[in-house]
Amino acid sequence: MLYEPPLFRPPSEASSLILQVTLGCSHNACAFCGMYKGKKFRVRSQAEIMADIEIASRFDQGVKRIFLADGNALTMETQSLLNLLKHLYNYFPELERVSCYAGPRDLLYKELDELSELRMAGLKLLYLGVESGSDVILKKMHKGVNANEMIQACRRALDAGFELSVTVITGLGGKEYSREHAQATARVINAINPTYLAALTLIVVPGTPLFKEVQEGKFTLLTPQESLQELKWLIEGLEIDNCLFRCNHASNYLPLRGYLKRDKDKLIYVLDKALNEPGSIPLRPDYIRGL
């Protein structure tokens, strides 16, 4: 298989077969994201995709999971996606799950019946970046939707039967909007009630619009302690149930993991200890943090 770099996938897809069905990201405008800035978006042809499937199937019939790259495979026509899923389950008899990134606009553009059909065809898990619940921050970061549209898109995915893994980014509002970011994001996550929730910590990527704002002094980054405080505000505001929460990405200062709301008090206890007794819990130093 020939990949067109750069290639990205969620950490939980480390053991999955990665199949590029689109190149780049159809939105590709988020101020904080540098993932696909040098890549022109296009949907790959059926011939290209089928060639990759045939090559992969010759070498590994034991594939259990497939992740559809790049940025948002749901941009594809629904019938094309349905045909693709049929081929994947035919070529890989042990396949258990197909997943992909999803943009909120992709979910809003498709009818619920279309999404349900895709779910029944074997597209089971969607990864979506909520990033923030604040309309001010979503607009500043050029996310392309407001908070209500984000909720609507995510609820549509869940109503169609998908498992939904969403990410938020602590620090995305800078110092100026830190508390608003945490509290508004908690409200949006509560309204979504996702299957999985991951909190990343902002790392400013050179070459992005946000990087320029930081250099010009228009955006003030949080300190590690301020980042932990914002995370605590976020968790305090969450009222969701049976959701696996992860804060163990390479970008995070303090790895955390638990089920909400079962482990909410434990998570807050650890954050309190880190905040009130500096040094009692080692934080990940900046030089080993990464995306």
Per-residue model confidence as pLDDT tens digits over 83-113: 999 999 999 999 999 999 999 999 999 999 9
Per the structure, the count of domains in the chain is 1
Tell me whether residue 45 is in a domain.
yes
Angle between helices 224-237 and 178-192 (to 10 degrees): 30
Q: For position 193, what pLDDT does the model report?
A: 97
Cβ neighbors of 168 (< 8 A, separation 6 or more) are 130, 131, 132, 133, 185, 189, 197, 198, 199, 200, 234
Which residues share a beta bridge with 20? 69
Tell me whether residue 4 is in a domain.
no
The whole-angstrom separation of Cα 110 and Cα 78 is 8
Name the residue among 270, 265, 290 with its Cα closest to residue 281.
270
Tell me whether residue 5 is in a domain.
no
- Contact (CB, 8 A) for 126 and 100: yes
Please check the confidence at residue 287 and state whether its pLDDT lies above 90: no
pLDDT digits (tens, 9 = 90+) for 164-194: 999 999 999 999 999 999 999 999 999 999 9
Tell me whether residue 257 is in a domain.
yes
pLDDT digits (tens, 9 = 90+) for 56-69: 998 877 899 999 99
Please check the confidence at residue 291 and state whether its pLDDT lies above 80: no
Tell me whether residue 21 is in a domain.
yes
Domain that holds residue 210: 15-277
Structure token pair of residue 237:
């505001």
What does pTM read for this prediction? 0.95
Tell me whether residue 6 is in a domain.
no
pLDDT digits (tens, 9 = 90+) for 73-88: 999 999 999 999 999 9
pLDDT digits (tens, 9 = 90+) for 114-147: 999 999 999 999 999 999 999 999 999 999 999 9
pLDDT digits (tens, 9 = 90+) for 213-240: 999 999 999 999 999 999 999 999 999 9
Tell me whether residue 290 is in a domain.
no
The whole-angstrom separation of Cα 195 and Cα 267 is 18
The CATH number given to whatever domain includes residue 270 is 3.20.20.70
Tell me whether residue 36 is in a domain.
yes
Name the residue among 202, 175, 199 with its Cα closest to residue 186.
199
